[in-house]
Amino acid sequence: MTEDFLAFVRAAKRGRLKVFLGMAAGVGKTVAMLREGRRLREEGVDVVAGVVLTHGRAETESEKGGLETVPEKTIEYRGVPLRDMDLDALLARKPDVALVDELAHTNVPGCKHDKRWEDVDDLLANGISVLTTLNVQHLESLHELILRETGVDVRERVPDRVLHDANEVVVIDVPPGELQERLRAGKVYPAHKIEQALHGFFRHDNLAALRQIALREVANAVEARADAVGAITAGMERNSKPAADAERVMVCMSSQPTGAARLLRRGARLAGGLNSRWFVLYVRTPSESTTRIDAAALRQVSDNINLAKELGAEIVRIEATDVAASLAEFATQRRITHAVFGRSRRSPVLERLRGSVLDRFMRLAPEVDVLVVGNGPEEPRP
């Protein structure tokens, strides 16, 4: 049995994930999820609502249609009782399908997981299929793009792999003008928030940019999923491993914390656009050994590696004294076609005296296309 077939068998035991994706609040994701849940129930499927957030919207509330709901649990945090989805109760109930709204939600402290997408992972691993909702701006790799396009610093984020691993993604597409009219009619936010929203996040240019991004993300996810299934099928038919992928991306990560998250997200976007495997390579030199590197830098390296995993990268750690030579050797061995580097923070004088890792890499691996990502302030992880 090949590794690919084994992965296929394991995946078959998981629940299926369907994501209703939108460009912003108010497009109708929750309504679409509820209608799908009711349709499945009418066909004899055991469907329950784990958490459905109507935000007081009468239209959304009316769509529940008597769906069975697992009561939320109450957790006291700093003396305040807070409510959240009861994951354990859902797992014990074990329906065929669970409705779990707002995938990017941060759970109340004291829950089993920090994030709702982790709850969904648990449900899927236990054979429970999930219908869920997500706004495109919450995808991890899009953070800088969303910030640049809209000026909004999105704090709650979901790993791209969650969307790319979904069995089905449905875009709830509403023209920006229509969504603004829904906002003015009080169907999205309370009256006192409408004008602020119209002049902020819900500006026409913001919504138009988010709409384009949402449509592009779904196209990328569908194409990547089709390629993966096709490769596995072809491999099984030939009783061999699938053909080698044509494009491969490598992100070169150092122990310097500044700009690392931006570098990783740019690599994830590049790999996503190419539908390719991608690697994060961390070359640790003797000066970066655990006994010589300071605790803050070591913790930052660990955080960046965790982010890379969330973004779907394959992590490779190498210990070497010659960073450029190690990167070039890895690129040759793994048939890397694109390498992503951060811009050096060395002074021009040091660059001239000691040479740059990037310059040496390009000389040693001239067949690899190189992308250099600019520096900028590093935002905290949520």
For the cut 60, the answer to whether the pLDDT of residue 367 exceeds it is: yes
pLDDT digits (tens, 9 = 90+) for 320-333: 989 999 999 999 99
**Topology at the third CATH level for domain 248-373:** Rossmann fold (3.40.50)
Same topology, domains 3-226 and 248-373? Answer is: yes
Helices (H), the chain: 3-12, 29-42, 58-62, 87-93, 116-125, 143-150, 160-164, 176-184, 191-198, 204-237, 260-274, 295-310, 323-333, 348-354, 357-364
In terms of Cβ atoms closer than 10 Å to its own Cβ (0-12, 13-18, 19+), residue 24 is buried
Residue 311 pLDDT greater than 90, yes or no:
no
Describe the chain by its helix, strand, coil percentages, rounded to 5: 45, 20, 35
Buried b (16+ CB within 10 A) or exposed e, 221-257: beebbeebeebbeebbeeeeebeeeebbbbbbbbbee
List pLDDT tens digits, range 109-154. Answer: 999 999 999 999 999 999 999 999 999 999 998 888 888 888 888 9
Q: Identify the band that residue 342 occupies on the pLDDT scale cut at 50, 70 and 90.
A: confident
| Phi–psi pair at 311, nearest 5 degrees | -80, -5
Q: In angstroms, rounded to a whole number, what is the distance separating the alpha carbons of residues 3 and 110?
A: 37
Instruction: Let me know: does 267 contact 313? Beta carbons within 8 Å.
Output: yes
For 209, the token pair is 């940019």
For residue 72, the model assigns a pLDDT of 93
Q: What percent of the chain has pLDDT over 90?
A: 47
Predicted pLDDT of residue 91:
97
Residue 90: phi, psi to the nearest 5? -65, -45
Cα distances from 5 to residues 10, 237, 264, 349, in angstroms, run 9, 11, 30, 54
Quick: pLDDT tens for 66-114: 899 999 999 988 889 999 999 999 999 999 999 999 999 999 999 999 9
pLDDT tens-digit series, residues 204-219: 999 998 998 888 887 7
CA angle at residue 313 from 267 to 315, to 5 degrees? 115
- How is the chain split into domains, by residue range? 3-226, 248-373
Relative to beta strand 80-84, strand 73-77 is antiparallel
**Pairing of β 168-171 and β 17-22:** parallel
The domain 3-226 belongs to what CATH superfamily? P-loop containing nucleotide triphosphate hydrolases (3.40.50.300)
Instruction: Spell 302-313 as b/e; 16+ CB within 10 A means b.
Output: eebbebbebbbb
Rounded CA gap, 215 and 46, in Å? 31
> Has residue 172 got a pLDDT over 50?
yes
Residue with tokens 């694109």: 338
H or E element at residue 284? strand 277-284
Question: What is residue 369's three-state secondary structure?
Answer: strand
Tokens of 330: 């890895």
> Among residues of the chain, what percentage have pLDDT more than 70?
82
Mean pLDDT of the chain: 84
Q: What's residue 236's pLDDT?
A: 47
The pTM of this model reads 0.72
Whole-angstrom Cα distance, residue 254 to residue 358? 12
Tokens of 220: 């990328």
